[in-house]
Structure 1
Amino acid sequence: MRHMIRILICLLLVSYNLHAQTPTHIRSASGANNSFPFNTTSSNRVQNLFMPSDFIPALPMGTITKIYYKSATSTTGTFSNVTISIGTTTLTGFTSGPWNTGLTTVFGPATYTNTFVNGQWFEFTLTNPFFYDGSSNFIVEASQTGLTSGVIIQQGSIGGNRRMWGNVTATTASAGTGSPEFGIEIIPGSPCTKAIATATTNINSTSATVNWNAVPGSFRYEYLIDTTTPGKIYQPIVSTTATSAFVTGLIPNKMHYLRVRNYCNAISYSMWDTMAFMTLPPCNKIPKIAIGYVDSNSAQIQWDTANNVVNWRFLIDTNRADPANGNPLIQVTTNRFRSLTGLKEGTWYYVHVKTRCVQNDSSGWALDSFYTPTPCRKPVLQLSYISANNAVIYWNPVKTVVNYEYYFGSVSTIPANGTPLLAPSLQTPYLQPNTSYSAHVRCNCIDNGIKSSSGWSSLDFTSEPPLNISANAHIKPSIETYPNPVKNNLVIKLNGAAKGKATASITDVKGAVVRSIVIDNATTNVDVAGLASGVYILQYADAENNITTKFTKE
């Protein structure tokens, strides 16, 4: 009983015919049996080149359903990952080098077991039948990755290098003579109506829409795009039920070929139909953006042109990254020249330009940048203190300044150079009373590595007389306050003579007294840094006079 079970198991493992039938179409060869590829683990991959005239009777157009080899030994063998692939070619001979690619896998079980009989055919029934056009040369590749008890096949010599062999893991192979005894079963005739390729549309440099006619009752279509002269079919093949496809990744300015065929059921297909089309030259990114006449708030830009240009899209912003699609600030223009105004000083700007070509083709974004410098502005000079022998001049710090220069003299003549100064203030001791002077100050700046100097600012003033207040008794007094508005130090200047004891008070708009001052000199300095911003009233009073004035605290 156990013996019978073992026999039954062995019979079940033989999934293909023990004694295959004689094939209809035979390529006869004998006299030089070979171990490649079914009796070795080194040269376990072979490609054989066949021509239609090799077979008796000649091969018709039709669907190949089985292929055959003839055994030269008797054994039962088991193989791992047996793979059979077929593809048409324009080659008439092989050369050593890379394996031929683009073949269609027609048989590929993980495990294959068969009993081989010396002198008899053994067959492979194709799980993916192959349509043959009846006229092309074709390649049959056989390989395996492991075996127990391999089989030697019958082989003969033939003119030309019609065989390549090597290891299944290698990228190259040796070429030479030799061809196996080989058979084919083919169902004659084209099983399906051809799909006819029609004119390609929407062609640009890297994409196009390929089209073909609808075949009534079609199961599906297959198509591919390549740049090879019609003949050998390359992968990848795309399946679809549509009659057009938008294809991308094409090569600019190159002839491409659409290959399309129709499937009338799951395994039967028509011959390929071919349509050539030429892609447009590339829609190139502009090579250069020229930027000039840049100042603090304006600039001019210009860019180079290119072939097939329809217009340009451009954006000027403060973001280095490429603009997002759909950015509403992107402008469209046919003018390569732009004058920019209203720019913000001290800012990096980025110029983005994209070329738009015919057929809605476009380049990538070209990028350049520029910086709007901050002007080196004149300082605004103010007198914060003056007496008969001393004066203090100050100004607000200037943006991008590295130092100041000053010149102090007795005449208002613009100097050529001055004395360097870091602080935004200048004290001038040792003045002569009641004498006119001129102070000149300018800024030296650096912005983004660019050095510049402002013009000179001048302030003319006269030092106080040497007399005290009583010496001006005949002059009716008046009051001056400066600077106005004031930030820290308010100067009260008394013009004329006070009548007796002189005082002043500072009140806010609600009438509250916030400062009380004794006036005992021609100029009096009052610290107002602690006052809140707003309008204040200064009231002066002596024995005969009352004077009111206003000032603003920043």
Structure 2
Amino acid sequence: MQFSKYILALCCLGITGVGLAQNPFTAGNIVVYRIGDGSAPLNATAAKVFLDEYTSTGTLVQSIQMPATASGNNNILTASGTEAPMGLLNLSADGRYLVVPGYNAAVGATTATATASVVGLVDFNGKVNTSTAIPYPEASNKMYSATSDNGTNIWFSGYDVIRYTTAGSTTSIPISTPTGGLLQSVYIANGQLYNSNSQANSSVYTVGTGLPITGSQSLTVLPGLSLPLATQQFAFADLDPSIPGVDVLYLASQQGSSTLGGLKKFSLVNGTWVANGVVSTGTVSADRYQGLTIKVLGNTVALFWTRRGPNGTAARGGQLVTLTDNSGYNGTLTGTPTVLATVANIDAMAFRGVARVPLGCAAVNGLRAPDVSATQANIFWDNPATGGGNYEYAVTTDVTPPPSGTVTTNTFANVSGLINGTTYYVYVRTQCNALSNSEWSVTSFVTGCKPPAAPPVNIAVSTKGLVDIKWKKVFGADAYEYLISTSAMPPTTGDNSTDTALTVSSLNSVSQYYFHVRSKCGGGAYSEWTTKAFSTDCFMPAISVAVLPGNAGVSWNRINKAVKYEYALTFNPVKPISGSYTSDTVYTTNKVKDGTAYYFHVRSVCINGALSEWSTIPFATQGMQVYPSPVIETLRVKLEGIGNSGDITISDVMGKIVYRKQVNTNSISIPASSWAPGVYLVCYYNGQQRTVVRIIKQ
């Protein structure tokens, strides 16, 4: 009665033979390689092969029979009912084809009658292509697994060899022929070809480097996996973004003891694969795991695999089971598998390999939510390698992907109206066409008012005591609170600012300070405080000067934590090596010359002995400066504070004028080499004031 119900279900789906059109696969579902139609117990002879599509909850959607008779370019594709490793189904690396292993023996025929190993390719519309047939004895009559990167290049494994061919070909190249036999599943992850072995001393290996297509490739066991694993199918995941490439491995073990068998998990830790637990009943026979595939949603991995279940030791593959692993990278795998499907007729049907459904286009890449606030988020994703242009997205608090989403042609979206402190899941998929979508890509985020990031907080302390502070604008923040204190403990409140920059001038020198800042996101939502330490040096004084006839006065501001000041009065701007000391902030002198340029320098001496930089101010006294005296070749006249428009007259003591000129600048050079030696008077008159300086001509 159970078998009749199974056949009735297939008939209701309109699935009675390979000649009928199939429905496109549905994204998110899985496909199981099934041997046998249930009409007779399985044995070593060839049996029909079906691809059963299931939802992730175990509902049968459709079954696609592989050709049982040759037609056109399509060859027969059947499998032995009791050759347990046969039928390790794979999805091509680009996600567009199911890669189906088998051979071309007629149903009911013995293995010896098969003339070729056959690789089937099935696209997302359910279209079957079995034109790839590698004849014996070139290929082993025990093809266990096949895989492809793009539906053209094909790698397959058998009893004792891994071979390479192309779609539609009748020849192949042996790329690895290790001793020991029973090469099981071939698999592509992150551009690398892998292989498993189910013998007692088996493991998982890389096959050469990348995707090799020539012979003599070495098999290298993964670091840390040089132990008996009896591996059938396996799958990799990339769960830790800080580790390049794949970093988690799941594998199905054919053995049934708690030591060898079950579903096992490993994580790549510092270059070595470390065991993360096993799911197994520990019985010798019931838990013989075989097919395996995974679906990764963020940090959650849904696993689907086949095991012996109610079938006998010959047929095996009686159940399809599932388990969700939420432990993430390097987390321990635990739990009890849930049975999704059981063969309708014990030992007359057997499940083998498992794979995700093929799709007409690839999923989006790089899904991310870099900008998250208390009530909104910006979402971005990258175009897939194939397809793209139309997308659906959804943001929800549900860990289960939605049936549909908002349609867009953009590769970004802004989502608002979110609830603060809530975990959201972002789902994005590619629309392949009107009937098909890619799988959902997923990421998650937690809403909250985010603080300014510490590294971009820039604090610049000037030598004059000005502190300029800048930070990066925070997405979703409408204002900020800040406080500068001498305590590293974040405050309870602070000063408000709508800007992301401020300047402070009232801090002490040679002191340790802490800048605290947090975001205000509206609705009473605040971020955590971001704190950044900074220190001040010994500040240099700010100088002002007053110049009167015959004297000058200089003053500067008092510097906190300065115990005294060092000063010097010079005739040039070069910083002095040292000077005189004072505890005052005023300097006066009446020993200045008329018409002379001066430079006053002062620096602080702080309590810890630290010195500030020199602060320098130039000034000049009023009058006329004439130099050199005695003069030989050229006389120079410089006017300070008495205008620069007037007459300059030079005469000897007898009143004879040797030079006269109207000037409109405060500096002039006069040739004096032709003057007779003696005393001369230099006179400047600006119409109101007359200034006279006596010089000597040598």
When normalised by structure 2's length, the TM-score is 0.24
- Structure number with greater CO (CA < 8 Å, separation at least 6) is 1
